[in-house]
Amino acid sequence: MSSRFLRTSLLIGAVSLLAACSPSEEPQKPETRTAAEPTAEAPAEAVREEAKAQSDQPESGVDYHSFANTSDFRVKHVDLDLTVDFDRKVLEGEAKLQLKRLTDKKKPLILDTRGLEIESVEAGHGGQLQPVKFSMGETDPNLGTPLKIELPKNATAVSIRYRTSPDASGVQWLEPQQTAGGEHPFLFTQAQAIHARSFVPLQDTPQVRITYNATIRTPEELRAVMSADNDPEAEMDGVFEFSMPQPIPSYLLALAVGDLEFKPMGERTGVYAEPELLESAAAEFEDTESMLEATEEAYGPYRWDRYDLLILPPSFPFGGMENPRLSFITPTVIAGDKSLVALIAHELAHSWSGNLVTNASWRDLWLNEGFTTYLTNRIMQNIYGDERYRMEMALGYDDLKADLADRPDGDEIMAIDLRGRDPDEVFSNIPYEKGSLFLYELEQKVGRENFDQFLLDYFNNFAFQSITTEDFEQYLEKTLLAQYPDKLDAERIRQWIHEPGIPEGAPVPTSDAFSKIDPVREQWLNGEMAAADIDTSDWTYHQWKYFLDGMPEKLSEEQLQALDSAFNLTESKNNEIAFSWLMIAVRNDYQPAFERLENFLTEIGRNKFLRPLYRNLVESGKQEMAAQIFEQAKAGYHPLTVKVNSKIIYGDDAE
């Protein structure tokens, strides 16, 4: 998932190690496990409290956000047959799970669910299934409800008939008027972090990797696409078949249904979008194939066959989601000038860091997002040059500093303690930008060529595995620390990962393109230069953002009017620039921008923009205005967006 897109991701040859672990091979790694055997009678809340009492630190390899008894069973494959019912706003059908038994003892299978209505369960072996007893446990407000299934002896398959809730946390149903075309409804899922359980009963933990097949039944005029092998030539007969042969964690299970068309952008890349957005999206993201090739050249082959994009309606709560083979992308990055395509580089980079090598729990998210943010910057440098690279790095550093100034010490730690918390709270610039800065320091100390070789070997060594922070530390100790004992220090690495803040002496990314902006801003603020006299003819989006974000908290009405008159900022078509300007407008009660503010908050569902704007409104004494806009807009927001911003506007107790 995109990073600064959330405030809410090379040039050595491939080596023979690439064949060391194919998608069909079983990873040679000890099984990680979920928290201390939770059961339907002893839900995860009690387990977490017991575990916390026993240790001040989270136990490595324990997923405190899953009920699943993964030390007894592992789901290896899922077959889905689901009907999409837009009238009732439910997915209904069957999930058949293929199990690997890890114990000879007779134990129930425990799966994760949230808001699912379970109709029946069958289980057995060798295709012979029979009805079995099942029960729903106590519901946890963060984790959902465990499903306990009594299995016959030697059972290796379970079939569950179920339907989702109309308000499933991982599913959004859009009315036609909420789409670009305005004629057809739209559906999309968002499974990260633990929302897959709201539309499929499974072991919803990133420790468990599955392959899957799916049959999706839709209205005949609509197309279904998934994080699988999409066929743009598939007959529009209301039945779509999918296969995902590479093993993925449950949070990468994804489905979308809508009035979608396809346009290729390269041999292995293309874009799905509503017809109204297709051409502009294909033009904006036409460099995707070049990004793919550049990343392969440095870090090994792309192992997911195709890399396509799906452009979602603007209510999508994130910048992008790295669903394998088909990244889900917000339309808010279609700027017309490729200024925001770092988001595409970020989601593509996840094909190596995150999808290929995955965090074992949400405590370890920095292993996904820190690596991906680092790779994003490298891709941008390769495709768009050194200046763009330095600007992206510097903006990311500014984002990190802003987050560090606004968070408690415990939330500044990369290997964060999330026990007893909603795992969605892990998403901040800490795992993204602090993780990336840590890797940038390693690169600076051992040299870029050596660090690229380390990354190539790392991706090969852990391909199609889910690993912990401690797995990474042990691997680092055997590789870079052993190879460069005079340049790297184990205690400093521990400080980066396990302590708050940025270690003293860390690199500070800067850009000459920004340094020339500072005196211009200062002269204007001091009245030495009129806004109309500022030469912005060669400014990039990055420089505009730096110029606006560096403004003092308070500006006069005259200053605001001068900027707006000179540069028409209130009507900016670049959503990033518009966001920065609207933040200034809210702080300074600049009324001429408030109509745009209301339209912006109503038409866009991206939490990177919404959360700061709503918080800014509340902190500026405009809680009533925030609530009025929110109530008007929330019907078109994703459930995650409603949840997050309700707390900002109405307080922590808001539903």
Active site residues: 347, 432
Left if phi > 0, otherwise alpha if psi is -120 to 50, otherwise beta: which for 378?
Answer: alpha
The DSSP secondary structure of 241-254, one letter per residue, reads: EEEEEEEEEGGG--
Query: Which amino acid is residue 147, in one-letter code?
Result: L
3-state helix, strand, coil in the chain (%, to 5): 40, 20, 40
Determine whether 468 is exposed, middle or buried from the number of CB atoms within 10 Å of its CB (0-12, 13-18, 19+). Answer: buried
482 φ, ψ (degrees, to nearest 5): -75, -35
Alpha-carbon distance 269 to 399, whole Å? 31
* H-helix or E-strand spanning residue 344: helix 342-349
Rg (CA), the chain: 24
* Residue of 577, 584, 582, 601 lying closest to 337 (CA atoms): 577
Cβ count near 526 (within 10 Å): 8
At 172 the three-state DSSP class reads strand
| Cα-based angle 434, 440, 443 (whole degrees, multiple of 5) | 150
Pairing mode, strands 145-149 and 134-136: antiparallel
562 φ, ψ (degrees, to nearest 5): -65, -45
Asked if 208 and 274 touch (Cβ cutoff 8 Å), the reply is no
* Residue of 115, 68, 75, 72 lying closest to 95 (CA atoms): 75
Give, as one character, the DSSP assignment of residue 353.
B
Cβ count near 622 (within 10 Å): 18
Alpha-carbon distance 15 to 270, whole Å? 28
According to the 3-state scheme, what is the secondary structure of 433-488? HHHHHHHHHHHHHHCHHHHHHHHHHHHHHCCCEEECHHHHHHHHHHCHHHHCCCCC
Cβ count near 161 (within 10 Å): 16
- Cα separations (Å) of 209 from 258, 487, 500? 28, 36, 31
Asked if 179 and 158 touch (Cβ cutoff 8 Å), the reply is no
Give, as one character, the DSSP assignment of residue 392.
H
At 93 the three-state DSSP class reads strand
* Residue of 613, 328, 338, 479 lying closest to 17 (CA atoms): 479
Strands ordered across the beta sheet of 134-136: 109-113, 145-149, 134-136
Calculate the CA 395 to chain-centre distance.
19
Asked if 332 and 314 touch (Cβ cutoff 8 Å), the reply is yes
* Residue of 258, 261, 262, 114 lying closest to 174 (CA atoms): 258
